[in-house]
Structure 1
Amino acid sequence: MVVIRLARGGSKARPFYHIVVADKRCRRDGRFIERIGFYNPIARGQDVPLNIAQDRLAYWLSVGAQPSDAVARLIKKAPKVAPAAEPAPAAA
């Protein structure tokens, strides 16, 4: 089974998590199929705390990947990014 889960990175007392698509049998920080985002729980100031590629997430969910409980909570919290519109030409 394919799961979408967190893989821990960062140093001691400074966690950083990659959101990865992996086979359920692989270890937490082991082999993965694709990295689709990150979660930084200690982001401060201008740092981005959460980033998920919504198109890749939608693809993996559509082919049957199951998100872990933690990732399911993060998906609900992630900002839904609208498709980028072309900027209007400036009037001179």
Structure 2
Amino acid sequence: MTRPAMLATLMKQANEEGAELVTLRAIVEETSELAADRILERLGLDDAQAEGDLGELRELLQAWRDAKASAWKAFVEWAIRAALALLLIGIAFRLGVWDVL
């Protein structure tokens, strides 16, 4: 029996016999599974290659995070070097190195 058919049967049973806790739980479970299947289908992840696709997406996301962290690290290092260079130029100016040259 397909999930939509099972859900229709459970809904009919709940309507005719009254909604017992077991029937309500079964309805929720079947509805959840049906909704999950629909979502996976809409995302294109309902085939056998979906697990590999998700693995590739995870690798791509990790590579992006690594690149972003590396770029920030390089920027901070560059900013520190620039600040130190300006500090050395300021010290040289204060000591009058320009007059000696």
TM-score, with length taken from structure 2: 0.21
Q: Which has the higher strand share?
A: 1
Question: Larger radius of gyration, structure 1 or 2?
Answer: 2
Choose between structure 1 and 2 for higher RCO, CA contacts under 8 A separated by at least 6 residues: 1
Q: Which has the higher helix share?
A: 2
